[in-house]
């Protein structure tokens, strides 16, 4: 394949991305129906809802768009990402009205502050740096990165969750931080109810604090969202100990 062919393929691929984003953006701007926001028909099952949310959530991550260098496209992508998050909250609110209150994802969703595309992109960079420090077991380094990520983009539940959890861990599970950490993790869950990683952090926190019921609820939510999650077996084992 020649260099010209490669360039043509890239142009075509970017063109398809523009088309997809524009269609999704027009749809979310034209409706208040959460199922329509997720491009689903009335009566869709929760398995379909979760699958569609996960697909959109993966596609509309900031890092997928920042490399394209089109800030208007990135802005629309982030608007779509927030819209699908709100839609997921609304759908779960309708579906969970009779369920346990241990994980109150049916509470009022916190207001999402406006975030421009540049800030969201910087926030995502610091967030991923924080994950690297987490994997190294450096909670101080991770906390600093998550704090910077939150300063740039305070609207993402997963950033809020990691910031709260690393603060708790770097203080050696300080009991005085339990209430604040619990509140922050639940707020994160309300912002991104379809993000299994938030419930992984919530389960770890609950196990560390010996909150058995909360741990069971968090693990059950992971099972619903991502049954094959690589950390699920370990969490179940720790929760039984």
User: Could you report the per-residue pLDDT of 81-105, keeping only the tens digit for each?
Assistant: 888 877 877 776 665 444 444 454 4
36 occurs within a structural domain: yes
- Residues 116-158 pLDDT 10s: 777 788 888 889 899 999 988 899 999 999 998 988 888 899 9
Q: Which residue range forms the structural domain that includes residue 188?
A: 117-240
- Residues 3-20 pLDDT 10s: 555 566 778 888 899 999
- Residues 18-70 pLDDT 10s: 999 999 999 999 998 989 999 998 888 888 888 888 888 888 887 788 788 88
| CATH code of the domain covering residue 226 | 1.25.40.10
Query: Which residues make Cβ contacts (< 8 Å) with residue 4, sequence separation at least 6?
Result: none
Helices (H) and strands (E) counted in the chain, each on its own, are 12, 0
85 or 236, which is more confident:
236
Number of compact structural domains in the chain: 2
Give the pLDDT of residue 92.
67
Q: Same domain for 163 and 221?
A: yes
Question: Is residue 206 pLDDT above 60, yes or no?
Answer: yes
121 occurs within a structural domain: yes
Total number of residues shown for the chain: 241
């Amino acid at each position: 394949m020649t260099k010209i062919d490669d360039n043509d393929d890239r142009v075509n691929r970017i063109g398809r991305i523009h088309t997809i984003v524009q269609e999704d953006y027009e749809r979310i701007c034209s409706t208040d129906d959460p199922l329509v926001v997720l491009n689903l028909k009335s009566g869709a099952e929760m398995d379909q809802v979760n699958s569609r949310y996960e697909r959109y959530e993966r596609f509309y991550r900031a890092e997928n768009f920042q490399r394209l260098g089109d800030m208007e496209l990135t802005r629309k992508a982030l608007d779509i990402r927030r819209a699908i998050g709100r839609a997921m909250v609304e759908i779960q609110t309708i579906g969970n009205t009779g369920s346990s209150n241990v994980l109150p994802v049916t509470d009022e969703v916190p207001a999402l502050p406006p975030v421009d595309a540049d800030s969201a992109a910087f926030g995502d960079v610091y967030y991923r740096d924080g994950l690297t420090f987490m994997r190294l077991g450096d909670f101080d380094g991770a906390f600093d990165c998550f704090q910077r990520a939150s300063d740039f983009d305070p609207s993402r539940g997963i950033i809020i969750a990691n910031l709260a959890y690393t603060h708790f861990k770097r203080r050696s599970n300080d009991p005085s931080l339990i209430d604040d950490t619990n509140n922050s993790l639940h707020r994160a869950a309300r912002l991104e109810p379809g993000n299994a990683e938030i419930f992984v952090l919530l389960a770890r926190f609950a196990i560390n604090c010996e909150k058995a019921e909360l741990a069971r609820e968090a693990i059950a939510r992971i099972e619903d969202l991502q049954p094959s999650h690589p950390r699920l077996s370990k969490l179940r084992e720790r929760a039984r100990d």
